[in-house]
Chain A
Amino acid sequence: RKEVEQDPGPFNVPEGATVAFNCTYSNSASQSFFWYRQDCRKEPKLLMSVYSSGNEDGRFTAQLNRASQYISLLIRDSKLSDSATYLCVVLGGPGNTPLVFGKGTRLSVIA
């Protein structure tokens, strides 16, 4: 069964903290990897794609370890507006294959 596993949290952190989320995936044929954020009762919004070499977008850094089938997201200098559920998402294979979602990790940033 093709699964994506995440720590559900919640992670409660003060403003300015650094927080890291981890994710593992079971399908070794997975091709592409993403982090989405989802606010309560809203749609998933693409935060960033995850590349093999690791990539950074402002305060957000994503890393991929294909050998361990492990993905991470690091958020530095947390803001109140970062409070959301962070979804680890994996593309199962080539072509028009669907996204496979983890259950998400809830983050609450507290003033």
Chain B
Amino acid sequence: EPEVTQTPSHQVTQMGQEVILRCVPISNHLYFYWYRQILGQKVEFLVSFYNNEISEKSEIFDDQFSVERPDGSNFTLKIRSTKLEDSAMYFCATRSGAYEQYFGPGTRLTVT
């Protein structure tokens, strides 16, 4: 069964450093999303992406965040200057034309 994959599984970084989280969507999926989940809290939407552009973004997704699809397969989330409060699980999700979204295993980001 096709799966969404994410790398790295765990990233530890110092405050102020840049991080790039990577996702490989299911091959025939065209809609891509990033969500995050702070420990003990609910899953929150960050950004959606379709046809090489952002469709929608939440208030969390400020100027420090960016997304791109650099090579037609990977879908990346960049945080330019990490803050302590960026520590969370970051999930990539993808879907085909149907509405069901399928999630990757996540990247645990720890900012120290």
Hey, which bits of chain A sit against chain B, CB under 8 A? 31-32, 34, 41-46, 49, 87, 91, 95-104
Give how many A-B residue pairs fall within 8 Å (CB-CB). 52
| Given A31-B99, A41-B89, A49-B100, A98 contacting B33 (CB threshold 8 A) | yes
From B49, which residue of chain A is reached at the shortest CB distance? Answer: A96
In the complex, how many angstroms separate the beta carbon of A74 from the nearest chain B beta carbon?
A: 20
| A45–chain B nearest beta-carbon distance, Å | 7
Q: Cβ of A98 and Cβ of B56 under 8 Å apart?
A: yes
Does B76 make an interface contact (CB < 8 A)?
no
A95-B55, A99-B45 known; A43 vs B104 contact (CB < 8 Å): yes
Question: A32-B99, A100-B45, A103-B42 given as contacts; is B105 within 8 A of A43 (CB)?
Answer: yes
* Known contacts A42-B105, A45-B103; A101/B33 CB under 8 A: no
Number of B interface residues in the complex (CB < 8 A): 25
What is the minimal beta-carbon distance from B40 to any residue of chain A, in angstroms? Answer: 9
Query: Shortest beta-carbon distance, B16 to chain A, in Å?
Result: 26
Contact B100 A104 (CB under 8 A): no
CB distance from B33 to the nearest CB of A (A): 6
**How far apart are the CA atoms of A91 and B98 in the complex, in Å?**
12
> Contact between B55 and A96 (Cβ–Cβ < 8 Å)?
yes
Tell me, in angstroms, the Cα distance from A84 to B44 when the chains sit together. Answer: 19
Question: What CA separation (Å) do A45 and B43 show in the bound complex?
Answer: 12
Task: Chain B residues near A49: list those with CB within 8 A.
Answer: 99-100
User: Once the chains bind, are B45 and A43 in contact (CB under 8 Å)?
Assistant: no
| CB within 8 Å of A: which B90-107 residues | 91, 93, 99-106
- Which residues 34-72 of B have a CB within 8 angstroms of A? 35, 41-45, 48, 50, 55-56, 58
Q: Are B42 and A102 in contact (CB under 8 A)?
A: yes
Report chain A residues within 8 Å CB of B58.
98
Closest to B47 in A: A98
